[in-house]
Structures are given as C-alpha cells and as structure tokens.
Chains A and B, each alone.
Chain A
Amino acid sequence: MFAEIFFIASSLIAVIASLAMLVSRSPVQSALWLILVMLCVAGLYVTLSAEFIAVVQVLVYAGAIMVLFLFVIMLLNLGAVPVADRIDVKKGVGFVLFTVILGQLVYVTSTTSESLSSAVIDHPESGTAIKIAEELFTRYVLPFEIIGILLLVATVGAVILAKRTFE
C-alpha cells in the first residue's frame, strides 16, 4: 500500500514538474524543474528495487548533467523570454504529433495489459551493485570499455567545440 502511494505521489510530481519545465519562461527555472523530475524518477527506481541505478540517477543526472546545464545557462547569462511564444503552424503540428504519440503509446500499453502479468514481480536481488557489477564486468565488459572511450572523445570534443571560433 505504501509503495502505491509513493508511486502515485512521485509520478504526479514528475508529470507536474515536467509540464512546469515546459511552460516556464526562464531557462534556470526549467533546469530546476527538470532536477525535480530527475529526483522523482530516482524515487520510482527505488520502488522498482533498482537502488544502484537510483543512486546513479541522482549523482549523474541531478548532480553532474544538470549542474552542467545550469553552468552554461549562467555562463551565457540567458534571461527569461519576455513574451509567450506565439501560436503558429509549427506549434499546431507539434500538438497533433504530441497527441498522436501519447495516444499510440497509451493504446499499446492498455491493449497489452492482459498479456502482461498484473503486477511487477519483485526481484530485490537484481538491483544491487553486486549483481550489476557481475554482469557489467563479465558479459558487458567490451561495451563498458567503449563507453569509456566515448566519454573521453566527448570531453575532448566539448573542449574543442567550446574553444573554437567560427568565422
């Protein structure tokens, strides 16, 4: 019972915060709302007993990535958008696309709900750092190394892109 209440509270806060991110005029406010979404998603991972991923979510997403976003917003000194964006054809197409994607996803979820079991089966063991590390350093050790190279390339590329001046 407690898990359900926690799930509903977290998901409601996540949806409201993401909508607030969408409508807030100032980029700093958007970033702060997105941090709230990230924290709620970390709470949802805890209800799925994926504790390691929940901790990684808070550390990497809410910690590192969002701090990077806030740093860039403040570096560029971006203020709030003075007036609301006007409604044009692009926004109409966007809203239609939003409705279609949401309807499609919810339709697929609702029609396949009978074939899926009614409840998430809990595997409390499979979310711990030990289980993940066992798989990560045996079966998935090559992708792990490739991710390391990717992060190095991204770091070097980010420095070069930000330093370079385009004429």
Chain B
Amino acid sequence: MGIPLTWYLTLSAVLFSIGVMGVLFRSNLIVILMSIELMLNAVNITLIAFAQFMGDVSGQILVFFVISVAAAEAAIGLAIVIAIFRNKLTVDVNNIKLFRH
C-alpha cells in the first residue's frame, strides 16, 4: 500500500510540460488561458503530494489559495479576452499586435 512520491512528481512534470507546450504552440487566447490552468493544476498535484508526504496541512491550504487565485485569474483573463474580441474581432494572438510596429 502506498504510491511512491516520485510517481506524483513525474506526472506533475508531464502535465506542466504539456501546459507549457500549449502556451507556446496554440494561437487561440482562450486555449492559452486553459493551458495556464493546466500548469496550475500540475503544481497543485506536487503541493498536495509533498503536503501528504510530510504530514503538513499548510501545503493543502496553499493549494486552496492557488485555486482561489486561479478563479480570479480566469475571470480577469476572460474579461480581457472579451475586451480584445470587441475591439479586434479576433482571439488569435498572431493578429493582436498592439505593441508591434
């Protein structure tokens, strides 16, 4: 009984890397935001695994706060997406060139 800690860490590393790949590969703003959520989830797995490994509740409370901040971030990010879409009529990051000359 008992799953090794390294399994959780490896799974978390794989999910985090897939999230990084999503941010770098996709050009749809909403899919990029979803990839960020995936990366936050991967970090949460690590935090919970270490918290249970060390018998400390603080890690779980940190995950609780991460979930709260992720909710706030999703709300603000999606509001920005809506504002950009009303202005540019696109959510493709290749067509959004506010700072490019």
A residues bordering B, Cβ < 8 Å? 3-4, 7, 11, 14-15, 18-19, 21-22, 27, 30-31, 34, 37-38, 41, 44-45, 47-50, 52-53, 56-57, 60-61, 64-65, 68-69, 72-73, 75-76, 78, 81, 85, 90-91, 93-95, 97-98, 101-102, 105-106, 109-110, 113, 116-123, 126-127, 131-132, 134-136, 139-140, 143, 147, 150-151, 153-155, 157-159, 161-162, 164-166
B78 / chain A contacts, CB cutoff of 8 Å:
68-69, 72, 158
With a 10 A CB-CB cut-off, give which of B1, B49, B52, B56 has the most chain A CB atoms: B52
Residues of chain B from 39 to 56 with CB closer than 8 A to chain A in the complex: 41, 44-45, 48-49, 51-53, 55-56
| Closest residue on chain B to residue A164 by CB atoms | B83
In the complex, the answer to whether A150 meets B68 with C-beta atoms within 8 Å is yes
How far is A113 from B10 in the complex, measured between Cα atoms in Å?
11
- Known contacts being A44-B45, A109-B13, A158-B76, is A76 close to B82, with CB within 8 Å? yes
In the complex, the answer to whether A18 meets B72 with C-beta atoms within 8 Å is no
In the complex, the answer to whether A102 meets B14 with C-beta atoms within 8 Å is yes
| Closest residue on chain B to residue A33 by CB atoms | B34
Q: How many residues of B contact A (CB 8 A)?
A: 71
Residues of chain B from 1 to 38 with CB closer than 8 A to chain A in the complex: 1-22, 24-28, 30-31, 33-35, 37-38
How far is A86 from B93 in the complex, measured between Cα atoms in Å?
14
Q: Is B96 an interface residue (CB 8 A)?
A: no
In the complex, the answer to whether A120 meets B76 with C-beta atoms within 8 Å is no
In the complex, the answer to whether B76 meets A76 with C-beta atoms within 8 Å is no
B residues bordering A, Cβ < 8 Å? 1-22, 24-28, 30-31, 33-35, 37-38, 41, 44-45, 48-49, 51-53, 55-58, 60-61, 63-65, 67-76, 78-83, 85-87, 91
- Known contacts being A15-B18, A121-B53, A136-B61, is A45 close to B8, with CB within 8 Å? no
| Closest residue on chain A to residue B88 by CB atoms | A166
How far is A7 from B49 in the complex, measured between Cα atoms in Å?
13
